Structure formats: C-alpha cells, structure tokens
Structure 1
Amino acid sequence: MSDVALAAAAEEQMSWLQVLVLSMVQGLTEFLPVSSSGHLLLAGEVFFGADAGASFTAVCQLGTEAAVVVYFARDIARIVRAWIRGIFIPSVRKQADYRLGWLVIAGSLPIGVLGFFFRDDIRTVARNLWLVAAMLIVAGVILGVAEYAGRKQRELSTLTLRDTLVMGTAQAAALIPGVSRSGGTISAGLFLGLSRYAAARYSFLLAIPAVVASGLFSLPDALSPQSSGLTADAWQLSVSVGITFVVGYACIAFFLAFVQRYSMYWFVGYRIIVGGGVLMLLGTGTISAS
C-alpha cells in the first residue's frame, strides 16, 4: 500500500456500527482459542472493507482484560497480597499464591520482549489475511494435537518456572494475528500435561499484564493512527471497552464451564473451517488480503 493510501486509511473515521460490531467480535472471541485479533481483521474486511488497525484492537482488549480482573478479583487480590508480603516476610514465600505471582511475572516476559522489538511488524506486515488464514489452520491443528496427546492430569499448583516460560513463549506467538493468545497458552499447557481447566485459568491470569500494557501503550495511536487503520474517538473507544467488558465477562464463565465438559476439538474444527473459508475468499478475490 502506498504512503498516500496509508495516510487516507489513517484519516478515515470509524463509524458507530463498526465500533459495535468489532467490539462484539472482540468480546466473543478474546477468551476462546480462535484468535480475537484474526477475527477482528476478518470482520473488518468482510463487513466494512477496512482494517480497524492494531491499536484499536489493543485498546478494545482492555475491556476484556477488565472482565478477567473482575471475574478473578478474589484470586488476583490473594496472589498480589501474598506476593507483596512474601517480598518482606520469608515464611510467606512457601505459599502457593506467592509462587504463582512470580510465575505470572516470568511467563509475561516473552511477550513483553518480543512485542517491544517487533511492534512495527505487528502493526503492518503481520496484518495480512493470507497469514491470518494460515495461522488459524496451523495453530488449530497444533491445538488438536495437544488435545489428543496431553495427559490432562496436572493442576495449577504443579506449575514450574519451565512450564510458565514455555506457556509464556506460546502466548507470545499470538502477536501474529490468527494464532490466538489463549489457544497458544492452552495448547502449551496441554502438551505439558495440564488439565484443560488449569491451562485455561493460567492463560487468563497470564494475559492480564501483557494485554493491559499493550492496550495502554496503544491508546495514543488508536486515537490518531500513524499507520493503516481507522480512527476512533475517545467516546467510541470508551463504548468499545464497555461492550467488550460485558460480553467478555459472559464468555469467561462460558469457556471455563465448557472446558470442564468438552474437548478442544470443537475449536479445532471451527478454526480449520474458518481458515479454509478465508483462503477461498482470498483466492477468488472476494476479499482483499490487506
């Protein structure tokens, strides 16, 4: 895309319909292993013929992460309290919550480092529907293999530093739209022998530092994009965060109940169907790759 075209895209104001639709998509897909960023890219192209941009995506994720904070408020408060006390009181360091606090911090490092160094590529090169479609299929197959091979016996209390670094690295792969942050961490967790519920729970906790930091960092650019993407004003971003919070909160409850009763194969099949459908639409020229 030329510099002129990029400038024109950056100056186009997002409509309220776009805000509502994309916010609903974000809320519905953030916590499912299907890639919310990939679905936002796809929804923007299919319904509106435009990409909302990486910054709008990052900011509207603040609503879904707020939902995680509220949903797990007691757990988070307990972990933070134990972590702070443990810094000053040696006896507290034996508590599981103190240890979990450090594991969440350690697991957040890979996506923080890679997100910083590849931030420009994430906003440009990675936002291509050919790549999104391929990642939907490839990461879906990996999730299926993890579901098949994983022992699903370990619980959250058995996590080690090695486990968290592996899952944190898998989370970092979700910087590529189409991979899925929750899908990556859950796949890694299943390969490590965690139960679906334990892998999903840790995935939610692990996402909080990374997504909140990404959303706050991207807020200025979301209001005034310097790259390809639509412009959303402060009111639109506020409404988007509110919608994603409500929808996301409901999806957390749904997903945690789902993983205790059903396998990941449902999401594997969905990802392959959607990814294949996007490849067909791109191949026939029905939609544009970027």
Structure 2
Amino acid sequence: MQMGMIGLGRMGGNMVKRLREGGHEIVGFDMNPESGRDMDSLEALVGALKTPRVVWVMVPAGVPTESTIAKLGELLEPGDIVVDGGNSKYTEDREHAASLAQRGIGFLDCGVSGGVWGAERGYALMVGGSAEDYATVLPIFETLKPEGEYGLVHAGPVGGGHFAKMVHNGIEYGMMQAFGEGFATMMRSEYVTDPAKTMASWRSGSVVASWLLDLFENATKDDPTLHNVPPVANESGEAKWMVEAALELGVPTPTTAAALWQRQDSRGAADDILRVVTALRAQFGGHVTKIDEIATH
C-alpha cells in the first residue's frame, strides 16, 4: 500500500527502508534536507498521496508531534488516517483523536520497539485505535513486525498502544537495572574473574537469556569492564508515566520506580550499574552518551 512517513531519523528512516523492501510505496518528509526526503513540505507530502491517505508521524514526542498532527488536521481529508508512532503520552492520544475526528480523520497510536536493529529484525508494535482503522493499516504493520506469530498487537482503543509501550519501557528499565546490579556485584567480588564473560554465558540455556544479554555481549567485547562507558543514563519519560499511572491504579511498581530513580541519580554519580544500562541503550537504540558529556549533566 501507499503511505506517507513524517520523520526520517534513526527510527523513521529504518522503518521506511523495511517498508520499501516489503513492496510498499512510501513518500517521506523530514525537516532536514539531508535526510533523503522525497518531499520538502507537509503540503507536498499530503498532495503526493492518493486518497484515502495514511500518514505515519515518527517525530519526537511533545511539541514536534503536537504541531505536526495539528497541521495534518488542516491538510488531510475525511477518511484519511494519522498514525502516531512516537513516544507520546497515552493521555494525549485521545485529544489528538478527538481533534482529528471533528474533521473525519482517523487516528491510531502505535508504540514501537526495536531501535536501530528494527530494519533487519523487525519492530514490536502495540497499536491503539478502532478496529476499522487498524484493519486499514494492517498491511503496513505486518511488514514492520518481525516474522512469525508475535510482535504485533491491537492493544485496545485510542491510547492503548502508547499505554502498552509505556509499560513495556518500564519493564525494560527494570530488566536493565537488574543486569547492571548483577554486573556491579560481580565486578567487586574476588570470586568472579570475568563478569562480562560470565554474563555472556547466560545467553544460552539460562532463564534470563534475552536479547538484552546479546546486546550486553556486543557492548563488552572491546571493553569488558565498561569503564569507557559513561555512568549516565537519561530517562525518556515512559517509566515516570508508568509509575504515575500505577499509583493512580493502585498497583505497586517498586522495581520500575527504583530503576527510574537510579537513572536520575546517575547525573552526578559514577556507577558500574549505569555503565551497563548506558551500554545497552546504545546497543539497541543508538542512544550514545560520550564521556565528555557527563559534565553537562
């Protein structure tokens, strides 16, 4: 099918690559003229698409997403669909959907996980919105997801996709924190001579085997102690939103909260735990923090 993609950065650009390889016609726009964009404005992108249109927004959450969706509301027509694939807060989705619905435009929120490896491995997609709009965009989702049974879910109504992605990221925080704590404990012990090699051994046969451990081995191949990795890990908001939502729902989330506090503490502390978290974020998402940037935190 044909679709417009707004945002051709680290995630959007790789998604376009996978979609085109899957046979879809993708028309791309980005503010950066060096992005490989097909169109140089939103107006040109909308004009290049056949009706009914599907436009995927893959720009940073907050003002960039807000302004882009507002502009699309002015440019699109009844029957068109907007997909927000960024990390917007789930409460904002209903506002976007209501605003677009006044013009007869559909809206889907899609949580996307897969980072810089997604073009090759596929993306885990969590979608919120109506069953009708979901069915319309399903060929796109099917191409973006990994091969096999899993990796795609219609999580619920509008907001459900980003709510699921928020919870996903909260779990991710806790998993990386646990790996970091285990690594730090072995680093200070006289009983384990090679903590990195020990953790890498868990990649097969262990109940904690995971893609995060695969990425950990990548990160430690040339730096087994991770001492060249800055002990600073920023938080992008989802874990904070999850803790807030859990408090409102009466659900205790001590693991996610502890991982969130640890990341905030990292802005002024050196710790092997955060070296692991930082290294893993660089591996799966390209979130690179340089040693000389620590002083700015």
Shorter-chain TM-score above 0.5: no
* TM-score interval, smaller chain: under 0.3
Structure whose CA Rg is larger = 2
TM-score, structure 1 as length reference: 0.24
Q: TM-score, normalised by structure 2?
A: 0.24
User: Quick check: which one's strand share is greater?
Assistant: 2
Structure with a larger share of its residues in helix? 1
